[in-house]
Amino acid sequence: GQQVMQIPQYQHVQEGEDFTTYCNSSTTLSNIQWYKQRPGGHPVFLIQLVKSGEVKKQKRLTFQFGEAKKNSSLHITATQTTDVGTYFCAGHSYGQNFVFGPGTRLSVLP
């Protein structure tokens, strides 16, 4: 079945440093979503990517969808303490349900 992997599992950065998490699917995706979960909170939708090679930006966050639609990345520029949390990608393949990746837990040291 479809598998979605994320690396790294954990990332500790100093405030102001950049951060990137990568998402890889075992199958070609029709679209991919990214969610953020704050400690003790619930997943909150960030963005959806649909087109091959698509790039979207939200302030300091940049999301990319690979040309082959099997991978994606989230890059945060100049991290802040408010960026702390776990970032999940969720991929959808045709005819299948969304599958969430295991997440990347980001810690930002002030």
Partner 1 sequence: DAGVIQSPRHEVTEMGQEVTLRCKPISGHNSLFWYRQTMMRGLELLIYFNNNVPIDDSGMPEDRFSAKMPNASFSTLKIQPSEPRDSAVYFCASSLGSLAKNIQYFGAGTRLSVL
- Give me the residues that bind partner 1 (CB under 8 A), please: 30-31, 33, 35, 41-45, 48, 88, 90, 92, 94, 97-103
Would you state the structure tokens that stand for residue 77, as one six-digit string?
Answer: 């520029």
Chain centre distance of CA 93: 17
Name the residue type at position 85.
G
Secondary structure class of 82 (helix, strand, coil): helix
Q: How far is the CB of 37 from partner 1 (least distance, A)?
A: 9
Nearest distance in Å: CB 18, partner 1? 25
Closest to partner 1 by CB, 63 vs 88, is 88
Q: With contact defined as beta carbons under 8 Å apart, do 102 and 5 qualify? A: yes
Pick 60 or 105: Cβ nearer partner 1: 105
84 versus 102: smaller Cβ distance to partner 1: 102
Provide the token pair at 108.
Answer: 């930002």
Burial class (CB in 10 A: 0-12, 13-18, 19+), 33: buried
Which one, 85 or 103, has the nearer CB to partner 1? 103
In angstroms, give the least distance from the CB of 76 to partner 1: 21
Shortest CB 4 distance to partner 1, Å: 10
